[in-house]
Structure 1
Amino acid sequence: MTSPKTSPKTVLITGTSSGIGLATAVAAARAGWTTIATMRDTGKADALLAAAAAHEVADRIQIKRLDVVDPETIATCLDDVIAEHGRLDALVNNAGAAQVGTIEQASLDEVRAAMEVNFFGVVATTRSALPHLRASHGRVITVTSVGGVVGQPFNEAYCAAKFAVEGFMESLAPVAATVGVDVTVVEPGAVASEFVTNLGLDPETLLTTAGPYTPALQAYLARTRQSFADAQTPTEAAAPLIEALTADRPPFRIQTSPWARDFVATKLTDLDGSTVQSLTDTWVR
C-alpha cells in the first residue's frame, strides 16, 4: 500500500455504480487521483470495474460501501480512507434518487425519502468529510441539477431537495473558504444514464393513477422523453466535475452543457418569476 507521505491526492465519490458517478470515478483515476468509489451496494460494482479496466486505471480505484442515509457507513468509510491513505483531498457528492409525482398524490413518506437521499445524505457526508478536507485544504463538489435552480413540474420533492442542497452549499461556501476548503455545485441537465431507469416507474401506471392531472402528466412525459433523447452522455457530464476537481480555484457554480447554462440563466435573471412560470407552463399543456 502506498504510504500516506507519498500518497497522491485522494477523492471520495458517492453513487458510482452507474451514470455520472461511474464516469467521474474513471475520469478522476485517469487524472491521477486515488479514487474511492463508493456505492450503497458494492455488488453493483461490475460496470465500474469493467470501465476502470478498459481505461487501465483499476489500480487507482478502490470500491467501498457507503450509504448516504446511513451515518455509520459514512463514518466507517471515511475512517478506512484516512487509515489507508492518510488524507482526503476532495469529496464529490453524487449519490441521488429521482422522485416523480405531484404532492396531492404522493405520500409524505415519499417526499421525506427524496429529502433523505438528495439533501440530508449530502449534508451528512459533507459534515463528516469536512475535518479531513480542512486538514488537506481540499474541496467539496456536489452534483445538484438544473432542477436545483428551476422548479420543474412533477418533480416537486426532487427539486425541493436539490434547491435545499444549492442553498446549503451556497451558504457553506464562504464559511468553508475561511478554513481553506473550496465548495462547488455542478448542475447537469438531462443525462443519458440509469438514473431515470432506476426509478422503476411505469409511465402507463402513472397515467392511470393521475386522475385530474392526467393531461398535464401526459404533456410532461412527452417533453421529458424528448429531453432525454437529446441528453448528454455521463462522460460528457463528468468532464466539468474533473475540471472542478483539478482547477486551482474552481467557481462556485458550474453547468455541464450550453443548454444547462441557458436554462439556469433563465432563472437567475428572472426577478419576478414570470419567465420561468411561462416556460414550465408549456411543459404541462
Structure 2
Amino acid sequence: MSNVAADAARMPTAMITGASRGLGAAIARALAPTHTLFLAGRPSPQLDAVADEFGATTWPVDFGDLDAIETAVEPIVELDVLIHNAGVAYPGRVAESSVDEWRATLQVNVLGVVALTLPLLPALRAAGGQVVFVNSGSGINASPGLAAYSASKFALRGFADSLRNDEPSLRVTSVHPGRIATEMQEDLVAYEGREYTASDYLSPETVAHVIADAVNAPRDAHIHEVIVRPR
C-alpha cells in the first residue's frame, strides 16, 4: 500500500465500483488524469485490465459478502471521491418478477452501496469528500418492465438524500442518466423484443464526462442532482 499512499499524496483519490467494463471503465478513463484511482469490485481479469490501463489499484469488494467489505477498505484513511456505479437489473414486470430477483437487486443496488459507504465515512470526512451515486431515470419515474430495478433506484435516491442531510461536510451527488449503450441495455432491449442500436442511447463516455464534471466542480459548488438524457 506504500505506493498507493505516495500516489494519493500527489493527486486526490477516487474509488469507483463496477469499473471492469461499460460506464465504470469510462468513468475511470475520465478521472484518470486528475485522480488516483481505486477500482472496487470482485477480482477479475477484466478489472485487472482496467487497473493496468490507468495505473489504478484494485480493491476486493464483493457485494455478495457484505460482512467482508469493512475489512477490505480498512486501509483507506482518506478518500476524496466515492463513486457508486455497480448495479444489476433483471428485466421483468411485477407479476413476472421473483423474490430472488428482488433480493439480488437490492443486495447490489442498495445494501452493497450502504455497506461500502458506512466504513468509508471517516475517510470521506477527513478529505471533505464527495459521494456520487450513479442512479437512473428509473429512480425518478418507474420504468415499465423494470420493477425491482426501479424500486432499488428509488431507494438509492433516498439513501443519497439522507446522506446529504446527515453529512454536511460531504458533497453528495445523484446522477440520473437515461438509457446508456451498455450490455445491460442490450439485455433490456432484448427483453422488450426490439432491435438494439447503440447510437439510440447515451454513450458511456458521455455520461462519464458528466460525472467527471460534477466531481471536478469548484469546491464551493455542491451539485445535488444531475439529469442527463439522450438527444
- List aligned pairs for 1:59-70, cutoff 5 A: 59=55, 61-70=56-65
Which shifted more, 63-72 or 147-156?
63-72
Tell whether 2:177 aligns with 1:188.
Answer: yes
* Equivalent in the alignment of 2:216: 246
1:49/1:162 CA distance change after superposition, 3 Å:
same
* Equivalent in the alignment of 1:161: 152
**Any idea what SS the aligned residue of 2:96 has?**
coil
| TM-score relative to the length of structure 1 | 0.72
Which shifted more, 181-190 or 101-110?
101-110
CA contact (8 A) 1:37 1:62 kept: yes
* Equivalent in the alignment of 1:146: 137
Note the C-alpha offset of 1:182.
Answer: 0.9
Runs of 4+, deviation exceeding 6 Å: none
* Equivalent in the alignment of 1:8: 11
Alignment partners' CA distance in 2, 1:34 and 1:9: 6
CA contact (8 A) 1:119 1:165 kept: yes
Tell whether 2:42 aligns with 1:40.
Answer: yes
Note the C-alpha offset of 1:233.
Answer: 1.2
Percentage of identical aligned residues = 33
- List aligned pairs for 1:1-285, cutoff 5 A: 1=3, 2-3=5-6, 6-30=9-33, 32-45=34-47, 48-49=50-51, 52=53, 58-59=54-55, 61-80=56-75, 82=76, 86-177=77-168, 180-197=169-186, 203=190, 220-222=192-194, 225=196, 229-247=199-217, 248=219, 249-257=221-229, 259=231
Note the C-alpha offset of 1:68.
Answer: 2.6
| TM-score relative to the length of structure 2 | 0.87
Note the C-alpha offset of 1:229.
Answer: 4.4
Count of residues paired in the alignment: 226
Greater share of helix residues, 1 or 2?
1
Note the C-alpha offset of 1:171.
Answer: 2.4
Per-residue CA distance 1:142-194 (angstroms, 9 max, x = gap)? 100011001111101000000111112112212211xx111100111111122
**Any idea what SS the aligned residue of 1:45 has?**
helix
Note the C-alpha offset of 1:47.
Answer: 5.0
Structure 2 spans left out of the alignment, 5+ residues = none
* Equivalent in the alignment of 1:262: none
Q: Which has the higher Rg, Structure 1 or Structure 2?
A: 1
Structure 1 spans left out of the alignment, 5+ residues = 53-57, 207-219, 260-285
Note the C-alpha offset of 1:64.
Answer: 2.4
